[in-house]
Amino acid sequence: MTEAAFHTVWIPLQERFYRVAFFLLEDRADALDTVQDLYVKLWKMRDTLDLVRNPGAYGALLVRNLCIDRIRRRTPREEFPDDLAGKDPPDEQLVAKETLGAVMQAMERLPDSQRKLMKLHLLRGLSYDEIAAETGLSPLNIRVQVSLARKKLKQYEDA
């Protein structure tokens, strides 16, 4: 693919790719960086881009994958601890990992606001006052939202 063809086909899709990245990352700077990474990747593979039938869909898929990689890099390792070795027998370690995985999966079903508050409180260990300082919400509102999220998680567990 020539430089002119690249500019004609791929550059007009930049805003679309940004919207996908922003939707997934919820951060303007990360979304812009991801789109930039996408265009670097596309430029490096420009010789094969002529084979792409739907550039918008292909680019959106690449953006999605780049966003997932970025989210995985910024997700605290405490969510999936691997340092369980030596503390419990292997079968109990497996059960603990499966349980943690199930809880994390259930948390993904929570509304975005409640999921964020649960991660801040449970995974990062922040107090309600610390979360309030970080989010701008009142500590009472945070307590209520965390309580509602816990009830929903309990319902997911019972179902």
Domain hosting residue 122, numbered range: 79-158
Convert the pLDDT of each residue in 60-107 to its tens digit: 999 999 998 888 887 554 444 455 445 556 666 676 677 767 777 778
Residue 156 is encoded by which pair of tokens? 């997911």
- Whether residue 83 is found in the same domain as residue 96: yes
Convert the pLDDT of each residue in 36-51 to its tens digit: 999 999 999 999 998 9
* Radius of gyration of the chain measured on its C-alpha atoms: 21
Could you tell me the pTM of the whole model?
0.48
- Whether residue 10 is found in the same domain as residue 38: yes
Count of domains forming the chain: 2
| Sign of the alpha-carbon dihedral angle for 74, 76, 79, 84 | positive
- Whether residue 83 is found in the same domain as residue 154: yes
Convert the pLDDT of each residue in 108-136 to its tens digit: 888 888 888 888 887 778 888 888 888 88
- Whether residue 122 is found in the same domain as residue 152: yes
